[in-house]
A and B are shown apart, each in its own frame.
Chain A
Amino acid sequence: MSFDRIREKLNILADAAKYDVSCSSSGGTRKNDNKGLGDSHSSGICHTYTEDGRCVSLLKILLTNHCIYDCLFCVSRKSNDVKRAAFTVDEVVELTMNFYRRNYIEGLFLSSGIFKNADFTMERLLLVCKKLRLEQKYNGYIHLKTIPGASDELIKEAGLYADRMSINLEMPTEAGLKLLAPEKSHQDVIKPLAFVQQNITQFAADKKLIKHVPKFVPAGQSTQMVIGATPESDKDIMYTANAFYKNFSLKRVYYSGYVPISNDSRMPVLGTQPPLLRENRLYQTDWLMRFYGFKVQEILNDANPNLDVDIDPKLSWAIRNMQHFPVDINKADYKMILRIPGIGVMSAQKIVQARKFGKLRIDQLKKIGVAYNRAKHFITCADSPYQLRDYQGTQIKAFILAESQSKYLKTDSNQLILF
């Protein structure tokens, strides 16, 4: 292969793939037991970070950016005037192997534009996986896009070689999707997601009875929604995410702030800043749902359809629900300690273990890793100063904001400080 040609292809096809945000390499269980190359690391490894601060753990490329669809939000849409390219199967295999050998990457993230039809595309993706696994004895991570509309047989076979599979919802609601991609619908996504999910469950059930069952998508499935291209509220977005977590046992839902790439009148104009802060707040909410025992309805509901911009959703929930506070660190159960702003999962676990040995004091909490300046409004511990008055949630918010160093606040604040 000619050096310049492969460079050009890589530039085009990596550039087109970068809007897929998933770069997780965790959850793989493949062991290098055939003296081949690669071994998965259960927590995943980020090998580098781009200048926008996103992790690079996988070689994320499209097999081709030729596409028969014309989705407005997509850089590879048929009507977009961009250079087109396509890798051969062997080129992808060789790139993956050689990058992996040098410890550049954890594995391959392979997606593709749809050329000819869904099955034709899926067959080629499957071929790459098979070559890597069977011919090259490659045990590294493979994240494969499920092509909507591909036949069940192909998807099932791909699941035997991939570690994770994903299909993007693209827009949080059906209405939003119809607006920008009239040819597509959420049903196209739901069907294969459900099919893969059924198979994951089936293989897991078989594994209980039969010793040697091949792995099937061991790192589970994920999906992605574009944020800020259509006018959905945070509530719409998170309720959709919640439903998909519940119905399809997804490992992750990704939220991708829309980076303007089109000058169609239905979309934000070119040059608009991507909604990075909003994206951040959505991820915080996602974490609260998955790791902190919050129900999505507690954080977002009809009274609060959008997340606060100036404070994080956990603090926001606490301020709206002051009746639960202050919490006694030395008595409250773990679930309640997790809900205190300024205390994370690790700190909460340490607190529960440490308080068996004696009542905890402020200095100990600080050493354990609690963000005390934030938490102090919501807790009592062995030597908490006696407080004469109860502060309102809004007052506490003002205290915390006054101390806050957030880079977003400096630009946002248009309220002068009086005292």
Chain B
Amino acid sequence: MTYIFDGSLPGLLTAVFEWFERKPGTVSLKSIETFQPEAFSESFTVVTNSDKADRVWKGLQGKLKKDWLRKFYCAYLSEIPEAFDHLFQFTIYVFQNEKGAENNYGNAHVIALAKYAKSVEREKHRMEAFIRFQHTADGIFYTGVDPDFNVLPLISNHFKNRYADQQWIIYDLKRKYGLHYNLSTVEEITIDFAVGVNSKNPEAILLNEKEELYSVLWKDYFKSANIVARKNTKLHIRHVPKRYWKYLTEKQLS
């Protein structure tokens, strides 16, 4: 038996609700995007219902401590097809057992969730570290990113607290939405980039006149801080995997 849901978090939680109402035995959960009909298996399409989802979420809040609710949310943000099924099975497992069952690291779903959450938290942390703002001519600090996972909801507060006195935009080019901080709140935005605008590295004319100066100084600093006698390229790449180099000002040729 396969349950199909719409890929949203309320959808996933509704699927848990439907399972408990029907108790159909072993079920796997797939999102509509990845579902392929199978000849010998039945399927059931879950209709997302916010009331049902809320009840399941409340139930989870009663069962899990804050750190595990966060792991649950992070694993969902990974957008990995198998993660959805693990989340589904994990929720059922938690409801069917006494409080504290989430600490059973011998359980396949517990360990899977912990693993997905770890990957997502790592990507979140990397975004906090590797994002480089460029000061645009209209005074906004802008950056375009395409993270492996959908981490913008997780980094919003970090940047809001940190850059409270400057307007900034972090735009997810892959998922086509972004965050804009307008000096009081963070709002979700979408941008229609004009044809010819490089959304990752805007042309100099769109940037603040000082931007060039500081990016050059930063590149200089990066070079000066290196100790040539200790060169260790393997370690360097392990810390800054090549797929992140496109974000880093210091890794761009001047």
Contact = CB atoms under 8 A, between A and B. Distances in A.
11 contacts: A11-B223, A37-B164, A37-B166, A39-B158, A45-B128, A52-B231, A53-B239, A103-B133, A356-B104, A357-B101, A357-B103
Contact of A53 (B103, B108, B223, B235): B235
Contacts of B104: 353-354, 356-358
A354 B105 contact: yes
Interface stretch (A79-87, A93-101, A205-213): A93-101
B253 interface: no
A51 B250 CA distance: 11
Range, interface on chain A: 35 or more
Contacts, number: 159
Contacts of B133: 101-103
A36 interface: yes
A46 interface: yes
A56 B229 contact: no
In the A-B complex, list the 5 residue pairs whose CB atoms are closest, starting with the nearest.
A53-B235, A354-B105, A14-B224, A52-B230, A357-B104
Contact of A56 (B106, B222, B231): B222
A353 B105 contact: yes
A89 interface: no
Interface string A339-350: 000000000001
User: A18, A39, A60, A407: which has the most chain B beta carbons within 10 Å?
Assistant: A39
A7 B217 CA distance: 6
Interface in A1-52: 3, 6-7, 10-11, 14-15, 18-19, 31-32, 35-39, 41, 45-52
Interface in B93-107: 101, 103-107
Interface in A227-252: none
A260 B143 CA distance: 41
Nearest to A367: B111
Interface string A343-382: 0000000110110111011001001100000000000000
Contact of B132 (A10, A36, A102): A102
B213 A102 contact: no
A294 interface: no
Contact of A259 (B162, B164, B223, B229): B229
A274 to B, nearest CB: 6
B224 A11 contact: yes
User: A102, A137, A354, A407: which has the most chain B beta carbons within 10 Å?
Assistant: A102
Given A53-B236, A350-B105, A367-B111, A10 B224 contact: yes
A203 interface: no
Interface of B: 101, 103-108, 111, 125, 128-135, 141, 143, 158, 161-166, 210, 213-218, 220-236, 238-240, 248-250
B229 A98 contact: no
Contact of B239 (A37, A46, A353): A46
A165 B14 CA distance: 53
B239 A55 contact: yes
A274 B227 CA distance: 11
User: B106, B132, B214: which has the most chain A beta carbons within 10 Å?
Assistant: B106
B133 to A, nearest CB: 5
A412 B134 CA distance: 47
Contacts of A115: none
A273 B229 CA distance: 7
Contacts of B132: 102-104
B134 A102 contact: yes
Contacts of A407: 234
B233 A51 contact: yes
Contacts of A322: none
User: A59, A104, A353, A356: which has the most chain B beta carbons within 10 Å?
Assistant: A104
B130 A47 contact: yes
Nearest to B239: A49
A84 B60 CA distance: 63
Given A7-B217, A102-B135, A14 B165 contact: no
Contacts of A260: 229
Given A19-B227, A367-B111, 11 more contacts: A10-B221, A11-B224, A37-B165, A48-B129, A49-B239, A50-B222, A52-B232, A54-B230, A56-B222, A56-B225, A357-B103
Contact of B129 (A35, A37, A45, A353): A45
B144 to A, nearest CB: 13
Contacts of B217: 6-7, 10, 95, 99
A37 B167 CA distance: 12
B226 A50 contact: yes
A276 interface: yes
Nearest to A43: B125
Interface in A106-161: 137
Nearest to B134: A102
Given A46-B239, A59-B221, A358-B106, A99 B214 contact: yes
